[in-house]
Structure 1
Amino acid sequence: MTDWSQAKTVLTAGFAQIPKGTTLYEVSSVVGCVLIIDVEKEVICDASFTFVMDKTSDFLAGLLRGRSVAGGMTEITQVVQERFLAPGQGAVLQAIRAAVERFLETKRQS
């Protein structure tokens, strides 16, 4: 387990509704995304998602680790669209976007 207490990181979260009518919606109506971001480098250090199966969260976290949020969502959107071929892809991207935007907005205000 990583000790984040000494790192210059923040934890941010975003949530999105899963579309009705999908199998995923029957399990949970909302997907949550938690990102740990290096404040100075503006890079995702770690991520977690509110999926029933840990493998899904682990896979998405692996796609996001090391990705920059400084330039917005272009790189992240591309890799998720190419590699996460599952129902709820749009909701996952929306949850990530909400978390990234919360981080960037807070950084602009400080």
Structure 2
Amino acid sequence: MAEWKNKNTVLTAGFAQIPKGTTLYEVSTMVGCVLIIDADDGVICDASFTFVMDKTSEFLVSLLVGKSVAGGMQEIAQTIQERFLAPGQGAVLQAIRAAVDRYHEKKA
């Protein structure tokens, strides 16, 4: 059983279009991001992405779990920009931002 199942969690999702002309676009035109966030403290408990290759999703999840969305996207964006050096980086950030924004909209 996942550790977050016994917490006050919410699931939120965001999507972004992958830029045309990239290899990733040939596989899928959109990237999706699902975040499970502890509503008590705003910390990401788990995440998932719609990438074909599992390692890409696993790596991104490892960068996000434990990060707080309470203060916005600055720390997450910096981490993604420094460590996820792949085509579609901007789309990944946009999908994460959309999920985080949706979380804040519903929390308010």
Q: Shift of residue 5 of structure 1?
A: 4.2
CA contact (8 A) 2:4 2:45 kept: no
Shift of 1:3: 6.0
How many Å separate the matches in 1 of 2:100 and 2:74? Answer: 12
Partner of 1:8: 8
Alignment-mate amino acid for residue 89 of structure 2 = Q
Q: Deviations over 1:3-56 (max 9, x none)?
A: 654320000000000000000000000000000000001000011100000000
CA–CA distance in 2 between the matches of 1:68 and 1:7?
A: 15
- Give 1:2 deviation, angstroms: 1.0
Superposed CA RMSD in Å reads: 1.0
**How many pairs align?**
108
Which residue matches 1:93?
A: 93
The answer to whether the 8 A contact 2:51-2:57 is kept is yes
Q: Which residue of 2 aligns with 1:63?
A: 63
The residue type equivalent to 1:96 in the other structure is I
Q: Distance in 1 between matches of 2:83 and 2:63?
A: 8
Question: TM-score, normalised on structure 1?
Answer: 0.95
After TM superposition, the runs of 4+ consecutive aligned structure 1 residues lying more than 6 A away are: none
